[in-house]
Amino acid sequence: MLEAFARELRSGEPADLTRAARRAQVVAFLALALPGLPLGGLYLLTRPTPLTLPWAAGLAGMAALLALVVLRLARRAAHGGAQPPSHAALTAAMQGGAAPAVPFLLGCAFLNQPAVLVLLWGVAALALVLAWSSVPRWVRAAIARGS
């Protein structure tokens, strides 16, 4: 995987840079999100108090807002700075990987409540789709800025 990543990064072609950025985005998401599962399992042992529907909706709204803020910061990373285009695109993609990680991690704290878990992980899935589909735009913006 690292060989392919390095080859795609060095090629300088937009399609290759997009693939490399998406690989970096997946790694960033996994690095942030995977520790949430065992930690959520440990928290489950404490038998946390269930959330009411208004609190669950508020938490999902906050998770969505935080994911959108992270995506906005990733967009700014692709458009600004004095980095080479490949670095700017990778920075944006890795920051974008944090967008779905936020609601995913919040969901891990509610493994005992399937409805809240599905709600938060649904927000995470939407954030993942937004981040994944934004990578080509971020790559184009980084290349255009670097030209």
Give domain limits for the chain: 2-146
pLDDT at 67: 97
How many Å apart are CA 91 and CA 95, to the nearest integer? Answer: 6
Alpha helix (H) residue ranges in the chain: 2-11, 14-33, 36-44, 53-79, 85-108, 114-146
* 127 confidence band (pLDDT: 50, 70, 90): very high
Q: Does 5 score more than 70 pLDDT? A: no
**94 token code pair:** 């890795």
Higher pLDDT, 10 or 58: 58
How many Å apart are CA 50 and CA 60, to the nearest integer? Answer: 15
* 16 confidence band (pLDDT: 50, 70, 90): confident
pLDDT at 82: 77
pLDDT at 139: 92
- Tell me the HSE value of 59 on the side-chain side, using a 13 A CA sphere: 25
* 11 confidence band (pLDDT: 50, 70, 90): confident
Q: pTM of this prediction? A: 0.90
